[in-house]
Structure 1
Amino acid sequence: MSADPSMLWRFKEDVNIVSFSDAHSHWPWRIGREATIFDLPELEYEGIMNAIRTGKGFKATIETPPAYGKYHWDGHRACNFSCAPEETNKLKGKCPKCGKDLTIGVDFRVEELAKAKHGYKPDNARQFFSLLPLHELIAFSIGSPLASRKTWEIYNALTDAFKSELDILLNIEKAKLARVCDEKLLELITRNRESRVKVKPGYDGTYGEIVLEHEEQKKLF
């Protein structure tokens, strides 16, 4: 989860990059966060495998923003310190607060192993959507824990009305969403679709966090 196709393309490997969610978390909002979208006449094993191998019928992937992952940046959780790969190199991999080794993140490893520069896009690249889960957006918009009753009430109201969480995040018209959710959540869903929700990168086992600039904060809250 701490990497996306734009990062993996830099390895210049001749493969189609798929994305699948973990299914082992005991938190419901962690399940189904990432997916591969196929455009096939029938979803069956041979067709899916052929689409992955050849790219025919392989339409897109849905990704959680890499910065949201628990090991995207480098850092030392005990000292509440994190940094990008360039800074890690300057620090020689040591925490500037205590001198212990930093836990190296995925972004650093990509920089170590990449064969192409930022922005490289192979011929077989597929579209991908970078989306934070609906649960995260709801909890942030109301300032409530992910597992709170209020968060679940809003989540259930939306999924009862529109059935699919991914459809809510990607496709349902704003006017229809506005009948079920308030203005703050609607704005976050819209920003999420447009990859305009900023995330403070996760590090050393700590998830990334949604952040808003001061002017955005005033507008929404």
Structure 2
Amino acid sequence: MNWQIAELDNRSILSSSDAHSGPKIGREATVFVPTMKQFNPLRQSSNEVNNLTISFTYQDIVDAIKQNPNGKLKIGYTIEFFPEEGKYHWSGHRACNIKYTPDDVVKNGKTCPVCHQTLTIGVENQIRDRSTRIITVDKLRLIKNSAGMTFVYDPEKKRRPFVSLVPLLEVLTEINEGSATKALEKYNRLVNIASEFDILLRKPCAEINTLGGEKLAQAIQIIRNRKVYINPGYDGVFGTVKIFNEPVDSNKTELTSVEEKQPTLFKLT
């Protein structure tokens, strides 16, 4: 969404997680990578990446954010949750059970058709009102790495890409049909073997199948392909993201934009 605002064209876009509870920490992140050409973590195995030691300072991070061309680090990509989960993503009026897509607002206006009060305008429409360009889903560029992880680029590939994930514990909870106890037991076992990001981003699905079973491997593949079911939030109602079970009024993400294959997650250029 930020890519639609011209004032942000030369700004670094960062991502960070909520810190109000343990499970939320690290859910979103900004990934910094070395600028040296001989290093490309996406051509290396997950074990090589995890065991790599890089010396850098706080100033190196500042330089990366400021896009210093002589810096040791730069922003590689950001890790996001699906923004539709936010409770003000679309516009609407929950008291009257009215939910509008951005196009609905343009077509029908900002007045609730039931109570005739002003709708609570969602983030997508707020961005559209401030944007200097409209980037539709079909214009986005999707690039998959060798692990099948989909990275989303702007149409001209001028900005750092992002990936969208579903937290591992939420994945396991859905697989275990809402059983928090079973999901937590499996989660603790898995993260003692590999990190959550390693499982969600990098490990081959065949290895995930061995570690956590066929259902988990299928779920990870669906997330990496951005084929989850989404019911966007509105007017204080949180949105929902499901992998296997389609929620009521959901919209399955079908990012059928330009899709490319490359052996790396991003290009170190």
Taking structure 1 as the reference length, what is the TM-score of the superposition? 0.82
Q: Superposed, which structure 2 residues align to 1:54-65 within 5 Å?
A: 54=67, 57-65=74-82
Out of 67, 85, 110, which is 1:68 matched to?
A: 85
In structure 1, the residue matched to 2:18 is 22
Query: Which amino acid letter does the alignment assign opposite residue 52 of structure 1?
Result: I
**Cα distance in 2, alignment partners of residues 123 and 53 from structure 1:** 19
Query: Which amino acid letter does the alignment assign opposite residue 33 of structure 1?
Result: R
In structure 2, the residue matched to 1:158 is 190
Runs of 5+ unmatched residues, structure 2 = 35-53, 140-153, 247-269
From the two aligned structures, give the one with the greater strand fraction.
2
Stretch of structure 1 that moved more, 108-117 or 72-81 = 72-81
What SS does the aligned partner of 2:212 have?
coil
1:47 aligns with 2:60: yes
Change (3 A) 1:151 1:80: farther
Q: Superposed, which structure 2 residues align to 1:15-164 within 5 Å?
A: 15-24=11-20, 26=21, 28-40=22-34, 41-54=54-67, 57-118=74-135, 119=139, 121=155, 124-144=158-178, 148-162=180-194, 164=195
In structure 1, the residue matched to 2:224 is 193
Runs of 5+ unmatched residues, structure 1 = 1-6, 215-221
Query: Which amino acid letter does the alignment assign opposite residue 158 of structure 1?
Result: L
Query: Which amino acid letter does the alignment assign opposite residue 128 of structure 2?
Result: E
Change (3 A) 1:81 1:161: farther
**Cα distance in 2, alignment partners of residues 196 and 69 from structure 1:** 18
Contact 1:157 1:180 in 2 (8 A): no
Aligned residues: 203
From the two aligned structures, give the one with the greater helix fraction.
1
What SS does the aligned partner of 2:211 have?
coil
**Cα distance in 2, alignment partners of residues 77 and 152 from structure 1:** 33
**Cα distance in 2, alignment partners of residues 95 and 138 from structure 1:** 38
**Cα distance in 1, alignment partners of residues 245 and 172 from structure 2:** 18
Taking structure 2 as the reference length, what is the TM-score of the superposition? 0.68
- What is the Cα deviation at residue 121 of structure 1? 4.2
Contact 1:9 1:121 in 2 (8 A): no
Contact 2:208 2:216 in 1 (8 A): no
- What is the Cα deviation at residue 43 of structure 1? 3.8
Across the aligned residues of Structure 1 and Structure 2, the Cα RMSD in angstroms comes to: 2.2
Contact 1:188 1:197 in 2 (8 A): no
**Cα distance in 2, alignment partners of residues 196 and 98 from structure 1:** 36
